[in-house]
């Protein structure tokens, strides 16, 4: 079972919906950083983007959750922390 052991939020000056960067530590073994936190256009909440690298014309994923359960867990914990900060 996956466990998020640390969450850090770095608020930034809003830019095209991007309001912060988040990082998490997974299972006390893996640091995942540069997760973008965006305010949804309709203002109904937030969405996350995971890091990519542009190589030529392609955007390559650096990392992202494979299972929807892990993705949902990361979202819930980051969004909870964002709500506490803002």
Residue 85: what pLDDT? 92
What is the C-alpha separation between 39 and 31, in angstroms, rounded?
Answer: 24
Instruction: List CB contacts of 53: < 8 A, sequence separation 6 or more.
Output: 59, 60, 62
Q: Give the mean pLDDT of 66-80.
A: 97
User: Looking at the domain 4-85, which fold is it?
Assistant: Arylsulfatase, C-terminal domain (3.30.1120)
C-beta of residue 37 within 8 angstroms of C-beta of residue 20: yes
Residue 56: what pLDDT? 96
Domain edges within the chain: 4-85
Residue 66: what pLDDT? 96
pTM summary value:
0.92
Structure tokens at 30: 């893996």
C-beta of residue 62 within 8 angstroms of C-beta of residue 47: no
Q: Give the mean pLDDT of 49-65.
A: 96
Q: Kindly indicate the confidence band of residue 1, based on its pLDDT and cuts at 50, 70 and 90.
A: confident
Q: State yes or no: pLDDT of 86 exceeds 90.
A: no
């Amino acid at each position: 079972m996956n466990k998020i052991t640390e969450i850090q939020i770095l608020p930034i000056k809003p830019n095209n919906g991007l309001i912060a960067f988040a990082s998490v530590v997974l299972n006390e073994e893996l640091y995942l950083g540069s997760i973008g936190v965006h305010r949804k256009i309709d203002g109904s909440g937030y969405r996350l983007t995971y890091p990519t690298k542009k190589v030529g014309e392609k955007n390559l994923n650096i990392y992202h959750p494979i299972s929807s359960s892990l993705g949902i867990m990361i979202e819930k914990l980051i969004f909870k922390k964002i709500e506490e900060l803002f």
